[in-house]
Amino acid sequence: MRVLLDVMGGDRPPEELVKGGVLMGRRTGTDIVFAGDSALIERALDGHRLKSEGQFSILPSSQVVHMDDSPVTAVREKKASSLVLGLEALKEKAVDAFVSPGNTGAIVAGSVFTLGRIPGIPRPGIMAALPTVPGEDLYVIDVGANSDSTPEQLLHFALMGATYARDVVGIPRPTLGLLSIGSEAGKGNKMIGKAFSLLESSTLPFVGNVEAHRVLVDRSVDVVVCDGFVGNIFLKSVEGGVSAVAQLLRRTIRGRVIAMLGALLMSGSIARVRGTMSYRRRGGAPLLGVDGVVVIAHGRSDAMAIGSALDVACHQVKANLLDRFSDGVAGWETDGG
Amino acid sequence: MRVLLDVMGGDRPPEELVKGGVLMGRRTGTDIVFAGDSALIERALDGHRLKSEGQFSILPSSQVVHMDDSPVTAVREKKASSLVLGLEALKEKAVDAFVSPGNTGAIVAGSVFTLGRIPGIPRPGIMAALPTVPGEDLYVIDVGANSDSTPEQLLHFALMGATYARDVVGIPRPTLGLLSIGSEAGKGNKMIGKAFSLLESSTLPFVGNVEAHRVLVDRSVDVVVCDGFVGNIFLKSVEGGVSAVAQLLRRTIRGRVIAMLGALLMSGSIARVRGTMSYRRRGGAPLLGVDGVVVIAHGRSDAMAIGSALDVACHQVKANLLDRFSDGVAGWETDGG
């Protein structure tokens, strides 16, 4: 398997991202193609006593899509960027998957433009994995590929989420919930009301509405469906709540000797929870619904997070996920569609 | 001042809510009218060696609006409930404010139906106060009075939020942010785009979009404006993130003697953070935009939380807030409108 890694558009320097690719490649035997400034990548590979040949190769690019670039303009005008050239390599099947920690909007726009959509799925969705109290990750789709969605699009997100949970994650009978502001049928806004009816009358394994304050604690479903605006607010609010508590606790402890000693004794447990909550272990959010395996890594990704995003891409390639979507909602069945 | 407390519709028994009213009344000298089953309330007052006369009186009711009642049906059909009778007492100015830990939808529907709306404000909004890392509360409107809102309604929520922050909270020059999925202008869905333009061209102190993962940590604005569906998801997601971390930490510690000792030494700090995050200290969410002071307490409110909700109601009565809204968006000025 051959995975392309865009090392230019993330928040961290390309050297760090090359390191992530090299470590993951050595661990799994995956071929990695680094897209970016070839001199920088050569130098980084040299640091690992590697040459750009065989398992680790380079796709040279001369432009960079930055985090604050306008997505559509960037994709149209930066044809020599690692992002656009990388997606073209995927389109031409020179690689099996594309991974980037770059500008999310540009990755979505570039993927739709270059790879095209899967028949029957008019809009792609980004799926994120969230840690939960019971332990298994919770899958949420869409977390921001689109800012305005229709009830029909939510049905497609549900199809893609359930199929991913079954065929990539390996949950034989995954369940779906709709993110809303009350668990009863009919609670929520008009869009949710219509999406509820569509899901209820489909063959998809829909169990009803779920609420944000409960679902991370009880993990009552495997996949949460929402529109990209709400999903993005959900993700960021959870992150905000978690970091607010962490910072409040740190500030309260500071200067109190006994409390600081307590924190020291608890540090193993705190590190364990931080590991569970960390995006570094679930560094990749697949963009589902475009005709190719595209994984969006966190902008802040370090070598470890990049390794985990590359793993996500490989799992998806192995599962042959794209073929599974083409049966559409009607063809969905539990235990292999 | 005379505040009515609906003691029937909350999750806790009426005795607990009466206790909250008695303690707050004794602390502040406020007259409290308890709406509910008179025998139950008499008995609860008796436990505090009080009779239903003078400062503490009873508005007897024979029906109860339950948490799972359909709001509109409950308000129409349960005319003898503490909720409906209490709102009627407010309408007739027999009391200055109404506080209830009951069914939120029924309180909103009953308030609109009984009290009516303020001219120029077509839809009321619920405002919640959230704890932040810097210390001052963050005010969020709307957190669920409406599930579908228009950009114009967001402008009214902004007006009410800014006026409340200035005249009730006492922030001389409050600032407003719009909850979205990117801080740049134009980021977000179509509704947010239109609301952004309306806010930008108004005289309201609008500073731009804010993001959920940052605003609890940096508190870059005083008031966050959003539609009720998104605001409710925001609140519940923060709650979900906080409780997931707390539960993960508790589970990780269990059985590890050193970590448990650490937690013991840290318990003062943990209690302090829990106090900061607790809804019990900010137990009341005002329903703004109806023609009367209505405060919705958390359904789980205990005596302490009820006391804090009664305080919120008193502050609002003192500030004469309703008169301030009637100038509308155009009449809004910093330092007293």
pLDDT in tens, A76-122: 999 999 999 999 999 999 999 999 999 999 999 999 999 999 988 98
**For all residues of chain A together, what is the average pLDDT?**
91
Shortest CA gap B275–chain A (Å): 11
Give the span between the Cα atoms of A278 and A302, in whole angstroms: 12
Token pair recorded at residue B188: 């977000």
Which residue is closest to B134 within chain A, CA to CA?
Answer: A248
Cis peptide bond N-terminal to B218, omega within 30:
no
A276: Cα separation from own chain's centroid = 16
| Sequence ranges of the domains in chain A | 1-121+289-337, 127-281
Q: Do domains A1-121+289-337 and A127-281 have the same CATH topology?
A: yes
Helix (H), strand (E), coil (C) string for B25-62? HHHHCCEEEEEECHHHHHHHHHHCCCCCECCEEEEECC
- A214 and chain B in contact, CB less than 8 A: yes
Give the span between the Cα atoms of B335 and B325, in whole angstroms: 14
Q: How many CB atoms lie within 10 A of CB A230?
A: 29
Nearest to B305 by CA among B111, B1, B21, B67: B21
Per-residue pLDDT, A186: 78
Between the alpha carbon of residue A170 and those of residues A139, A222, A225, A316, the distances in Å are 13, 11, 18, 11
Per-residue pLDDT, B281: 62
Give the span between the Cα atoms of B126 and B116, in whole angstroms: 15
Average pLDDT over residues A239-260: 81
Per-residue pLDDT, B258: 80
Per-residue pLDDT, B312: 95
Per-residue pLDDT, A250: 80
pLDDT at residue A297 greater than cutoff 90: yes
pLDDT at residue B275 greater than cutoff 80: no
A217–B247 C-beta distance less than 8 A:
yes
> Which phi-psi region, left, alpha or beta, contains residue B247 (left: φ > 0; alpha: ψ -120 to 50)?
alpha
- Are B144 and A189 in contact by the 8 Å Cβ rule? The answer is no
Chain B residues whose CB is inside 8 A of the A272 CB are 252
pLDDT at residue A148 greater than cutoff 90: yes
What are the residues facing B225 on neighbouring strands? B141, B178
A256–B268 C-beta distance less than 8 A:
yes
Chain A interface test: which of B132, B142, B180, B216 (most A C-beta within 10 Å): B216
A147–B189 C-beta distance less than 8 A:
yes
Average pLDDT over residues B72-83: 97
pLDDT in tens, A315-327: 999 998 877 777 7
A228: Cα separation from own chain's centroid = 13
Would you give the DSSP letter of residue B288? E
Nearest to A292 by CA among A39, A86, A50: A86
- Are B204 and B329 in contact by the 8 Å Cβ rule? The answer is yes
pLDDT in tens, A189-210: 999 999 999 999 999 999 999 9
Q: Which residues contact A225 (CB under 8 A, 6 or more apart)?
A: A141, A154, A157, A158, A161, A176, A177, A178, A179, A195, A199
pLDDT in tens, A117-147: 998 898 999 999 998 888 899 999 999 999 9
User: Which chain B residues in 137-196 lie under 8 Å from chain A, judged by CB atoms?
Assistant: 144, 147-148, 179, 181, 184, 188-190, 192
Q: What is the ipTM of this complex?
A: 0.90
Per-residue pLDDT, A332: 77
Chain B residues whose CB is inside 8 A of the A259 CB are 265-266, 268-269
Structure confidence at residue B185 as a pLDDT band (50, 70, 90): confident
Chain B residues whose CB is inside 8 A of the A211 CB are 236
Shortest CA gap A66–chain B (Å): 15
**Kind and range of the H or E element at B297?**
strand B293-297
Q: Is B11 helix (H, G, I), strand (E, B) or coil?
A: coil
Read off the amino acid at residue B22: V
Structure confidence at residue B337 as a pLDDT band (50, 70, 90): very low
CATH number of B1-121+289-337: 3.40.718.10
Which residue is closest to A143 within chain B, CA to CA?
Answer: B181
Which residue is closest to B184 within chain A, CA to CA?
Answer: A68
Give the span between the Cα atoms of A56 and A73, in whole angstroms: 31
| Alpha helices for chain B (secondary structure H) | 14-28, 38-47, 71-77, 82-91, 104-115, 151-164, 190-200, 212-218, 228-253, 257-265, 267-277, 303-318, 321-325
Closest by Cβ to B213, choosing from A239, A248, A266: A239
CATH class in words for B123-234+267-277? alpha beta
What are the residues facing B176 on neighbouring strands? B206, B223
Chain A residues whose CB is inside 8 A of the B236 CB are 181, 211-213
Average pLDDT over residues B71-85: 97
Token pair recorded at residue B175: 């600032």
pLDDT at residue B264 greater than cutoff 80: no
HSE of A179, CA atoms in CB hemisphere, 13 A: 36
Give the span between the Cα atoms of B140 and B288, in whole angstroms: 12
φ and ψ of A209, to 5 deg: -75, 150
A238–B233 C-beta distance less than 8 A:
no
Token pair recorded at residue B177: 């942010």
pLDDT in tens, B2-38: 999 999 999 999 999 999 999 999 999 999 999 999 9
Q: Is B287 helix (H, G, I), strand (E, B) or coil?
A: strand
Would you say the C-alpha torsion A112, A117, A122, A128 has a positive or negative sign?
negative
User: Which chain B residues in 83-122 lie under 8 Å from chain A, judged by CB atoms?
Assistant: none
Q: Which long-range contacts (CB under 8 A, 24 or more apart) does A189-195 make?
A: A189/B147, A189/B148, A189/B229, A190/B147, A190/B148, A191/A149, A191/A150, A191/A151, A191/A154, A191/A227, A192/B229, A194/A151, A195/A151, A195/A154, A195/A155, A195/A225
> Does domain A127-281 bear CATH number 3.20.190.10?
no
- Are A98 and A295 in contact by the 8 Å Cβ rule? The answer is yes
Closest by Cβ to B236, choosing from A213, A246, A273: A213
Shortest CA gap A150–chain B (Å): 12
Structure confidence at residue B294 as a pLDDT band (50, 70, 90): very high
B147–A190 C-beta distance less than 8 A:
yes
Structure confidence at residue B321 as a pLDDT band (50, 70, 90): confident
Select the highest-mean-pLDDT range: A75-84, A176-185, A328-337.
A75-84
User: Which chain A residues in 246-265 lie under 8 Å from chain B, judged by CB atoms?
Assistant: 246-249, 251-253, 256, 258-259, 261-265
Shortest CA gap A76–chain B (Å): 20
Per-residue pLDDT, A242: 86
Shortest CA gap A336–chain B (Å): 32
Per-residue pLDDT, A337: 43
Closest by Cβ to A261, choosing from B212, B238, B265: B265
Per-residue pLDDT, B210: 97
Structure confidence at residue A271 as a pLDDT band (50, 70, 90): confident
Q: How many CB atoms lie within 10 A of CB A244?
A: 25
Read off the amino acid at residue B15: E
Average pLDDT over residues B146-173: 95
**Kind and range of the H or E element at B299?**
none
